[in-house]
Amino acid sequence: MYTGKMLESMKRVEATRKERLDQEIPLLSPEARQELLEGFHPDFKDDVFRKIKVGPSRGERAPKEFVDAFEAYSAIDPAKFDLSNVEVDVDVLVVGGGGAGAAAALVADEQGASVLLATKLRLGDSNTVMAQGGIQGADKANDSPAIHYLDVMGGGRYFNDPDLVEALVGDAPEVLSWLEKLGVMFDKTAEGTMVTTHGGGTSRKRMHAARDYTGAEIMKTLKDEVLNREIPVAEFAAVYELLTDGKKVTGAILYNMETEQYMVVRAKTVILATGGSGRLHVMGFPTSNHYGATADGLVLGYRAGAPLTYMDTIQYHPTGAAFPEQILGLLVTEKVRSIGGQITNFDGNRFIYELETRDVEAAALIRECLGRKKGITTPSGQPAVWLDSPIIDAKHGEGTIKARVPAMYRQYERFGIDMSKVPILIYPTQHYQNGGLKIDETGETKVKNLFAAGEVAGGIHGRNRLMGNSLLDVVVFGRRAGAAAAERANGMKKSGKLSLKHLDKFHKELKSARVGKGRIAPVLLPEYRRPETVDHRIDALD
């Protein structure tokens, strides 16, 4: 399966392993980091971006693939759609079945609100389930939310919204114990204390994990709880459009992806928990994201009038799988580096400390391959460097990889690769949307009664998120949005009027900006067919 050149390079990695065992590489200076970012991180390349021409964040920059989604028509014609047949009337409509949606639904339900959780795939199909390495939370004696706060701000290059960061780190210890009480099985020592590790940019070991399937363990637990409490869930029910009374959000139009029928939902409050957008493939990058990560909530919230923040920054996870081709872009958890995995170039030499923050680490990998030409090229032309995984067992004893990162081990075993014996090839992959809809500490957007939680919201992580703060963010802000939305709904005597006025206005803006009618969003699922075989046009407004 490996080419002769790849095997030759693999031998060099093996040859340098012994001398690398005790090698220490210092963290880069702030100046060197900045230079690396400016030279090689895609966020610093002007041709990645375009200015948005319509909507509340008009004039701001975002990657072109996102701008295409913002500057797009709805598949729904506001002049023709019949809103009189309201099929469901609830206090809180939660849109999205990942960690943020499930946490929001649980808390809203606890507050006595009637809840419908609608999700376009199945409950749990989400990026939450694909998060591997851990969840951060300062619950050890040598740590505190204040130290966690400083790490988050530093990681985000101090662009973070301080109030949101305070909420994130302040709620973290309580969130960890809430998850444990619900049944999450975190890794523990024989004495019963939590096993914690470092992530890139953390000054304390505060990564709590369930081996390397932490997100799956958390999602399974939240999902079971939603089902046990019999909270109504509509699966394969995508939200196609929000409804407003012209000012406040008042419900949504759901689209049943199986029956292809629409359903009108009246809701006193709506929580967008639709996750991220890796499937937009910025600059053609592969992605670690799940199949449904197509920026739906961003598009719908934006059209309804909610401004965006930091949409000009994307996280590329440094270690996406680069080979074999079948798993291109899939996550190789940062935990592999946390427990000692080293990154080397073609010659088997390290070129960067492995736990730099992700933006810096990814830029260093891109520089090694594209700038210094010291990477490996796979048979499909994919640039890559090595993640020397066998050094983990060499350092900590045989069996460490199988015990600590079993999901990774299996991911490679399926292709006949034993990562405890041979290094694996990796390259940055589109992983996380650092920006999103602007929210306050309760998760409310600038549109009244419209909340956002999880990856669809922005500002918490500034321009770069640290490992394990996403699993934390989905639970913290899911719970906060669930509580605030339920409280708001409980205080409202009646629901608002249902209209598509905001859409009418948005379509007019698109027309005056001369955006052609051919572009429709949200796309709901990614399109991987060859463009010449597909007719994307839906004549929505004709």
Which residues are at the interface with ligand MEZ (CB under 6 A)?
A: 131-134, 331, 333-335, 467-468, 470
Instruction: Quote the least distance from Cβ 133 to ligand MEZ, whole Å.
Output: 3
Q: Nearest CA to 343 among 419, 244, 426, 281?
A: 426
| 337 part of the active site | yes
* Contact of 204 with 140, CB cutoff 8 Å: yes
Q: How far is the CB of 469 from ligand MEZ (least distance, A)?
A: 6
Tell me the closest approach of the beta carbon of residue 100 to ligand MEZ, in angstroms. Answer: 14
Among 290, 317, 431, 465, which one carries the catalytic annotation?
317
Residue 198 is among the residues annotated as catalytic for this protein: no
Q: Cis link prior to 26 (omega < 30° from 0)?
A: no
Nearer to ligand MEZ, 131 or 384 (CB): 131
How many whole angstroms separate alpha carbon 338 and alpha carbon 160? 24
Nearest distance, CB of residue 209 and ligand MEZ, angstroms = 8
Q: Which is nearer to ligand MEZ, 331 or 498 (CB)?
A: 331
Provide the minimum distance between the beta carbon of 215 and ligand MEZ in the complex, in angstroms, as a whole number: 7
Distance in angstroms (rounded) separating the CA atoms of residues 94 and 478: 10
Nearer to ligand MEZ, 105 or 336 (CB): 336
Diameter of the chain by CA atoms? Answer: 73
Structure tokens at 391: 């050094």
φ, ψ of residue 368 to 5 degrees: the values are: -60, -40
Q: Which residue, among 445, 125, 472, has the nearest Cα to 289 in the 3D structure?
A: 125
CA distance 252 to 121: 17
What residues contact residue 232 under an 8 Å CB cut-off, 6+ apart? 115, 116, 117
Select 131 or 280, whichever has its Cβ closest to ligand MEZ: 131
Nearest distance from C-beta of residue 129 to ligand MEZ, angstroms: 12
Task: Outline where 429-468 has alpha helix (H).
Answer: none
Q: Strand, helix or coil at 384?
A: strand
- Contacts (Cβ under 8 Å, ≥6 apart) of 349: 16
Q: Is the peptide bond before 428 cis (omega within 30 degrees of 0)?
A: no
Q: Which is nearer to ligand MEZ, 214 or 420 (CB)?
A: 214
Catalytic residue among 279, 337, 367, 480: 337
Q: Which is nearer to ligand MEZ, 120 or 465 (CB)?
A: 465
Catalytic machinery residues: 317, 337
